[in-house]
Amino acid sequence: MDMALTHDDLDIRERARSFARRHLWPHEITLDENGSLDHATEAGIRQGVLDHHLNAINHDPEHGGQGMTIVQQCIVNEEVGSATNGLWGRVWQPPICLKQGTPEQIATYLVPACRGDIAVSFCVTESGAGSDAGGIRTSARLDGNHYVINGEKCFASYSDTAQVNLVTTIEDGNPAHPTLFLIDKGTKGFNMRRMPRFCQRSGHEHPEVDLVDVRIPATQMLGEVGEGFELTKDWFVEARLAIAARSIGMAIRASELALEWARERRQFGQAIIEFQGIGFMFADMATEIMAGKSMLYRTAQEIDSGLDRRTAHAKASAIKYHCSEAAFRVVDRAAQIFGGRGMMCENPVERLTRDVRLERIWEGTSEIQKVIMAGQIMKRGLDPYTSWI
């Protein structure tokens, strides 16, 4: 298998790196201190995404996306993942399941989302259904040509600013019928209940939402009754690979900052990089990053070469688990090398410490990834994790 990056891959990496350093890094401290960015700054970032051709990298050009390969998507996510405070989220990647919509839904939601004209929030989690997505209770009842939706959602990321919410329900209260609906902002009965405060100050909220007799046309259903989880399988693979790539980006930036500091900082008459204990820390950090990148890009290339969907899902869990945990260890070591300065909010490593902690939790905790892997091993043996495509 040829693992070398192509000319196009290298061009994308340069564009993504340039964008992150010119349009994201300069706004990190302002966002961390104020909790938001002004309209002009947000508009400038949006234009930067478009100018660098980084919008909707996961969607086809026919819908306004960039049509990037999985390898190329990982490259972009690695580079923008180096920015703190969740600024990577400004590089919008609409849910992949939107392309399964009707022609009308694609024209109304997917195409504008690819352009960046609207944002889409994906509302799955509930207070009683986190890791166990099958435990959702938000129900959709057919009433003539409409559905009436009742329930609640939490950790509804970006729902406070999104123009449309993609909501997972169970049709007619039947857990065997998970079904997706598109609910426009301002729809009566779709109410923000609470805005919890989180350690990451990204300028976007993760609200708790009540759905009280939300009445929408049946044409707002995405896919068919009972297809809710099936439509999101590819999205989970994509999301988990994106987390792995961002985690690598965080780990690399933290390591580079720590190395620069270790070369400059002198104690006991020498640069601290010259102490074996510090040098061994960097050896561990480099190994963690190297292993994670190898896993990520090998599997991304396998998917681009036609890896079957089930094996891709199995491998994505392993990669998300390893890369997020490894990045956490790397960033923690970087903070340790900085000493007290690693706890200063002005230091990107401190902010990365908060950010990387999140990657071990969302889109399936590390423990859930191991549950998925263990299940695959029981059914299929070690082959999904030890063989080549």
Catalytic site residue 363? yes
How would you write the chain as a 3-class SS string?
CCCCCCHHHHHHHHHHHHHHHHHHHHHHHHHHHHCCCCHHHHHHHHHHHHHCCCCCCCCCHHHCCCCCCHHHHHHHHHHHCCCCCCHHHHCCCCCHHHHHCCHHHHHHHHHHHHHCCCCEEEECCECCECCCHHHCCCEEEEECCEEEEEEEECCCCCCCCCCEEEEEEEECCCCCCEEEEEEECCCCCEEEEECCCCCCCCCCCCCEEEEEEEEEEHHHEECCCCCHHHHHHHHHHHHHHHHHHHHHHHHHHHHHHHHHHHHHCEECCEEHHHCHHHHHHHHHHHHHHHHHHHHHHHHHHHHHCCCCHHHHHHHHHHHHHHHHHHHHHHHHHHHHHHHHHHHCCCCHHHHHHHHHHHHCCCCCCHHHHHHHHHHHHHHHCCHHHHCCC
Of 126, 208, 359, 363, catalytic: 363
So which residues are the catalytic ones? 363
